[in-house]
């Protein structure tokens, strides 16, 4: 399939034919000889060409005569038409993607949330970013942080990124994992390195039925249990028990492939809930955002119980931007977001891994409140790595954000949001919602990337501060005796 640009160039030349003597001869030069050849075969070719009138040949092969005969105004018209068609296609594509295609906002480590420092003027953009991230990481006191990988379900990949027969290498929770989708459509996650010679199964490995074949010597590992079931140069009976890789417990739900992690090796204690409206496809996907954050993993859900930061960080209207030093800009003071929030642990002992945040958002414009723009949100923190945020807007109805949080390394987290909306919800509004959420997250990132974890915060007597204390007590259930701790002596000093 040629590109649009290719088609447009072809169109231009076709339109230009009309400006040359070629158009009137096309019949004689192309159509008639073809007809002749089809009738009498290629032997008639020389005859056909010798029969063409010499004047016509002259015009075509004589540059002067050719140029004289060109009608330049027709070429000009061809150009105008081509450009008009080209820009119409562009505009239609842009409008279609603007209004109907899902949004995809990605901000990696260093893209947002850092403040440029003095003295970095002679580095280029990329070096500056890396130097800045490294400097902030190095200088910041890590503090007495809780264990770095809590127990729970963590997203490895988004379902859409793993087609049947795909294998991908994923690095998270200090592990390298080969995730693949077998031919029957089920996803599997294996320890990435082949026990034979150490090749990474997901880099060049090929999916064969329900196995992943090592790219190095063709050993095949079964997705279900990681056992090696076939070696091309060795009889099956010689394959030993040791010929296996660890197979991780995963579950595919609501568009994410999630892995169970428990430091004590326990089987899953709970499962991420199914969102009915996604399962029965009555809600539609509106897009995603992805952010890489440099902070301890607990800082991110802790925000849910931190109602005092809502007014401070998220109060200024979104158009005031993401640089917290500028959001309180007086030009935007005529309008603001008003948030009322309350966090609670789920009282059901079966669901003690669930925290519930009720939020009510109001838009205040010139001191007035417009109820149609309200948004009621209920966020369920389901363990340490998943949040289901259900919202209800008086104008457009219901939808949900799904937030997954995955520790890539001890103090580096990946946060992915997906938005789903009901069918009456215009896609453009869903995209705007996701964009607005991303901007709000980016304001938080400026705090997270630069803060230190304080194990004993200076809480003052207030409802707001005591809620954070409650959240910390709730969250401590995700740490257990052998939860991996940060070995401060080996914290990477280079980035
Ligand atoms: C050759 O030209 C003559 C006269 O122009 C025409 O009658 C004849 O059909 C042509 N033959 C072929 C094979 O095109
Ligand atoms: C999908 O599930 C939701 C929630 O249970 C329900 O309200 C809705 O009617 C279902 N839609 C379809 C098409 O089954």
Residue 127 lies in a domain: no
Residues 305 and 229 reside in one and the same domain: no
State residue 67's pLDDT score. 74
Residue 15 lies in a domain: yes
With a 6 A CB cut-off, is 423 part of the ligand 2 pocket? Answer: no
With a 6 A CB cut-off, is 281 part of the ligand 2 pocket? Answer: no
Residue 151 lies in a domain: no
Report residue 21's pLDDT band, with 50, 70 and 90 as the boundaries: low
On the question of pLDDT at 493 being above 50, the answer is no
Closest atom of ligand 1 to 53 CA is: 5
Residues 231 and 280 reside in one and the same domain: no
Report residue 495's pLDDT band, with 50, 70 and 90 as the boundaries: very low
Residues 398 and 453 reside in one and the same domain: yes
Which CATH number covers residue 218?
Answer: 2.102.10.10
Which CATH number covers residue 371?
Answer: 3.90.380.10
Residue 109 lies in a domain: no
Closest atom of ligand 1 to 36 CA is: 13
Residues 241 and 278 reside in one and the same domain: no
Neighbours of 309 (CB within 10 A): 18
Higher pLDDT, 135 or 252: 252
Of all ligands present, the nearest one to the C-alpha of 48 is 1
Residue 217 lies in a domain: yes
With a 6 A CB cut-off, is 276 part of the ligand 2 pocket? Answer: yes
Higher pLDDT, 410 or 222: 222
pTM: 0.83
Residue 65 lies in a domain: yes
**What is the 420 CA–ligand 2 centroid distance (Å)?**
14
With a 6 A CB cut-off, is 51 part of the ligand 1 pocket? Answer: yes
Of all ligands present, the nearest one to the C-alpha of 398 is 2
Q: Which residues pair with 375 in a beta bridge?
A: 361
State residue 379's pLDDT score. 95
With a 6 A CB cut-off, is 3 part of the ligand 2 pocket? Answer: no
**What is the 376 CA–ligand 2 centroid distance (Å)?**
20
Residues 315 and 284 reside in one and the same domain: yes
**What is the 478 CA–ligand 2 centroid distance (Å)?**
33
On the question of pLDDT at 470 being above 90, the answer is yes
State residue 250's pLDDT score. 97
Nearest Cα residue to atom 1 of ligand 1: 51
Residues 318 and 177 reside in one and the same domain: no
State residue 426's pLDDT score. 94
State mean pLDDT over 251-268: 96
Residue 133 lies in a domain: no
Residues 435 and 301 reside in one and the same domain: yes
On the question of pLDDT at 251 being above 90, the answer is yes
With a 6 A CB cut-off, is 4 part of the ligand 2 pocket? Answer: no
Residue 454 lies in a domain: yes
Residues 417 and 388 reside in one and the same domain: yes
State mean pLDDT over 343-362: 94
With a 6 A CB cut-off, is 5 part of the ligand 2 pocket? Answer: no
State mean pLDDT over 22-26: 62
**What is the 423 CA–ligand 2 centroid distance (Å)?**
12
Please state, rounded to an integer, the average pLDDT across all residues of the chain.
89
State residue 419's pLDDT score. 97
Q: Which domain does 83 fall in, by range? A: 4-100
Residues 242 and 271 reside in one and the same domain: no
With a 6 A CB cut-off, is 280 part of the ligand 2 pocket? Answer: yes
Domain count, the chain: 3
On the question of pLDDT at 29 being above 70, the answer is no
**Considering only 115-119, 217-221, 282-286, which range has the smallest mean pLDDT?**
115-119
Task: Tell which residue, 293, 279, 304, has the closest CA to residue 382.
Answer: 304
Report residue 494's pLDDT band, with 50, 70 and 90 as the boundaries: very low
State mean pLDDT over 468-494: 82
| Exposure of 475 in the CB half-sphere (CA atoms within 13 A) | 25
Residues 243 and 271 reside in one and the same domain: no
Residue ending a domain, choose from 223, 249, 275: 249
Tens digit of pLDDT for each residue in 194-239? 999 999 999 999 999 999 999 999 999 999 999 999 999 999 999 9
Most confident range, picked from 127-131, 139-143, 208-212: 208-212
Residues 284 and 416 reside in one and the same domain: yes
Residues 243 and 341 reside in one and the same domain: no
Tens digit of pLDDT for each residue in 334-344? 999 999 989 99
């Amino acid at each position: 399939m040629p590109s649009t640009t290719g088609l447009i160039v072809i169109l231009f030349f076709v339109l230009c034919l009309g400006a040359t003597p070629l158009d009137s001869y096309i019949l004689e030069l192309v159509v008639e000889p073809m007809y002749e050849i089809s009738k009498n075969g290629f032997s008639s070719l020389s005859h056909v060409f010798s029969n063409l009138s010499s004047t016509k040949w002259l015009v075509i092969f004589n540059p002067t005569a050719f140029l004289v005969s060109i009608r330049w105004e027709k070429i000009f018209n061809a150009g105008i038409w081509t450009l008009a068609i080209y820009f119409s296609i562009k505009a239609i594509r842009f409008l279609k993607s603007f209004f109907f295609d899902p949004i995809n906002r990605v901000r990696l480590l260093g893209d947002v949330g850092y403040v440029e420092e003095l003295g970095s003027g002679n580095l280029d953009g990329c070096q500056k970013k890396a130097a800045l991230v490294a400097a902030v990481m190095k200088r910041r006191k890590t503090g007495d942080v809780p264990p770095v990988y809590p127990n729970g379900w963590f997203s490895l990949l988004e379902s859409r990124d793993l087609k049947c027969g795909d294998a991908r290498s994923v690095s998270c929770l200090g592990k390298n994992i080969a995730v693949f989708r077998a031919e029957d459509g089920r996803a599997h996650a294996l320890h990435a390195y082949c026990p034979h010679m150490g090749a990474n199964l997901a880099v060049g490995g090929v999916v064969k039925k329900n196995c992943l074949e090592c790219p190095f010597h063709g050993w095949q590992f079964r997705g279900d249990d990681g056992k090696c079931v076939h070696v091309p140069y060795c009889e099956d009976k010689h394959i030993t028990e040791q010929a296996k890789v660890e197979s991780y417990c995963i579950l595919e739900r609501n568009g994410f492939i999630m892995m169970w992690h428990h430091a004590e090796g326990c089987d899953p204690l709970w499962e991420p809930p199914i969102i009915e409206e996604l399962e029965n496809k009555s809600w539609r996907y509106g897009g995603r955002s992805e952010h890489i954050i440099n902070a301890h993993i607990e800082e991110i859900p802790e925000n849910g119980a931190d109602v005092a930061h809502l007014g401070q960080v998220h109060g200024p209207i979104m158009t005031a931007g993401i640089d917290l030093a500028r959001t309180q800009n007086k030009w935007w003071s005529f309008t603001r977001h008003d948030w009322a929030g309350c966090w609670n642990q789920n009282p059901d002992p079966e669901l003690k891994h669930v925290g519930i945040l009720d939020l009510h958002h109001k838009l205040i414009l010139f001191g007035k409140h417009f109820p149609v723009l309200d948004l009621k949100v209920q966020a369920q923190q389901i363990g340490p790595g998943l949040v289901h945020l259900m919202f209800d807007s008086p104008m457009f109805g219901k939808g949900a954000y799904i937030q997954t949080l995955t520790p890539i390394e001890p103090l580096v987290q990946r946060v992915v949001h997906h938005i789903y909306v009901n069918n009456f919800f215009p896609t453009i509004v869903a995209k705007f919602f996701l964009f607005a959420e991303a901007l709000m997250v980016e304001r938080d990132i400026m705090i997270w990337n630069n803060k230190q974890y304080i194990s004993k915060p200076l809480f003052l007597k207030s409802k707001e501060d005591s809620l954070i204390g409650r959240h910390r007590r709730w969250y401590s259930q995700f740490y257990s005796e052998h939860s991996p701790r940060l070995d401060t002596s080996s914290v990477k000093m280079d980035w």
